[in-house]
Amino acid sequence: MQKILNYINGELVEPISKKYLENINPATGQIYSQCPDSDERDIELAVKSAESAIDSWSNMSASDRSKIMLTLAGLMERDLDKLAIAESIDQGKPLWLAKNGEIPRAISNIHFFATGIEHFSSESHSMGKHAINYTLRAPIGIVGCISPWNLPLYLFTWKIAPAIAAGNCVIAKPSEITPMTAFLFAELCIEAGLPKGVLNIVNGLGPKVGSAIVSHEKITAISFTGGTKTGEEIARVAGPKFKKLSLELGGKNPNIVFADCNFEKAVSESVRASFTNQGEICLCGSRIFIERSIYEKFKTEFVKQTAKLKVGNPLAEDTKVGAIASQQHFDKILSYIELAKQEGGKLLFGGNTVKLEGENATGFFILPTVFENLPFDCKTNQEEIFGPLVTLIPFDTEDDVLTMANSTQFGLSCTIWTENLARAHNIAAKVKSGIVWVNCWLLRDLRTPFGGMKSSGVGREGGLEAFRFFTETKNVCVKL
């Protein structure tokens, strides 16, 4: 059985405890590898290694750091298929999605920030003949990056790429549910010649390894993507220590369909926005608001297209919906299906587990599930489920839909379907979300600010925002 190792001080090493956690393939429910069960002693080693690397890495020219990262991106490109297969097995996502979407995006993350750092500049503010101010943006030092299980390598690289490009050393923790691609990535870092200690990957449990990162005195900035509850706990620990924090948290995103939309596009993209990656993307649209005059027509077509999505072995080419990432998450989604029924929801499609054959008979599969007839303020429509479960809700006016869309504690993303540009701008301005898509979904430009409002997070990542987060700003005022 394959043993995943930590990556500390440029080497692949066992956890000090020598203990391992079982890593399960969600498509079979069987253990297929072992993940280090690290603790604060491993974090201590990682911090020591980062301390010995920080001076030379932060003083290296941006272009030299960039060259190493571009070599790394090239190696990822070479191993794209291997990384995609590993991601699909570890997480349960369809292989085609990993191959065409997520791993290429992880490569783009490295490439984007490697080249971006060469163009990152700081400001100066002249006070005429009296003085000049200039802004220095220096690396922070040692930073912590903690990422979740839904888009493992994609979100892992989204954090560490700007951090190391900006000259920091990183202590990173992938989710112990999906540690495999971060391990393969560590092997590529060694091959690419990333200097020892610049990146340290410590695997293990959140409350043990994650919290040791968050509370460590020498780790002065934390970039975290994960659930809102965990974000709260991280803020509680890091806040009094005045650490810089970037929190990318949960969502309960509205997908608003007006009667004047391009109907075919709105339906097919809404199906995609609902069930891609089994609905386990923080940006999935789980509350679909439909203008009443097209409600029945939209519902019929949406359910028809949903019924065609094949649930199956993630490695099979025709699978559209793979396995739920873990038994625990599978149970959570099933409990929400029961809750939706108790709250009076009418099941339009799904609502069941799927029994596959052969080795997949013990995997965690759930049919894409569609409910209607649930009030906008019931629990099913207010809490993040993070799975293949959506609700359809009719609306009459722009004001009505805005009230319902803005009614949750979350504010991550929103999608609007309309051919009326003035209406799109109006809703975009008034909806409380950090990201708004008009007539599209998940169309991403890495230069744009990314993040949520309300309980969906604090701060923005992406483009220059990420470099600003991972640097310390200092103003120098010189009297002339």
In the complex, which residues of this chain contact ligand NDP (CB under 6 A)? 146-150, 155, 173, 175-177, 205-207, 210-211, 214, 225-227, 230, 233-234, 248-251, 282, 384, 386, 412, 452, 456-457
Residues 395, 141: Cα–Cα separation, whole Å: 50
Helix (H) or strand (E) holding 198: none
* Residue 388 or 452 with smaller CB distance to ligand NDP: 452
Judging by beta carbons within 10 Å of its beta carbon (0-12, 13-18, 19+), is residue 439 exposed, middle or buried? Answer: middle
To the nearest 10°, report the CA torsion of 217, 221, 226, 230.
Answer: 40
Task: Give me the least distance between CB of 167 and ligand NDP, in Å please.
Answer: 24
Q: In whole angstroms, how close is the CB of 104 to ligand NDP at the nearest point? A: 18
Min dist CB 316 to ligand NDP, Å, is 25
Catalytic residue list: 248, 282
Nearer to ligand NDP, 266 or 435 (CB): 435
DSSP string, 250-311: ---EEEEE-TTS-HHHHHHHHHHHHHGGGG-STT-EEEEEEEGGGHHHHHHHHHHHHHTPPB
Q: How far is the CB of 177 from ligand NDP (least distance, A)?
A: 5
Instruction: Specify burial of residue 438 (Cβ count, 10 A radius: 0-12, 13-18, 19+).
Output: middle
Sign of CA dihedral 36, 40, 45, 51: positive
The β-bridge relationship of strands 221-225 and 199-201 is unpaired
Pairing mode of beta strands 285-291, 253-257:
parallel
Q: Between 178 and 313, whose beta carbon lies closer to ligand NDP?
A: 178
Residues 6+ away with beta carbon under 8 Å from 188? 72, 75, 76, 79
Quick one: CA dihedral 301, 337, 254, 99, positive or negative? Answer: negative
Q: Which is nearer to ligand NDP, 58 or 382 (CB)?
A: 382
CB of 23 to ligand NDP, least distance (A): 11
Cα–Cα distance for residue pair 184/88, rounded to 1 Å: 14
User: What's the min distance (Å) between Cβ of 370 and ligand NDP?
Assistant: 20
Residue 397: CB partners within 8 Å, gap ≥ 6? none
| Residue number, 142 or 282, with CB nearest to ligand NDP | 282
Q: Give the nearest distance from C-beta 346 to ligand NDP in angstroms.
A: 26
Between CA 15 and CA 126 the distance in angstroms is 53
Q: Closer to ligand NDP at the Cβ: 253 or 319?
A: 253
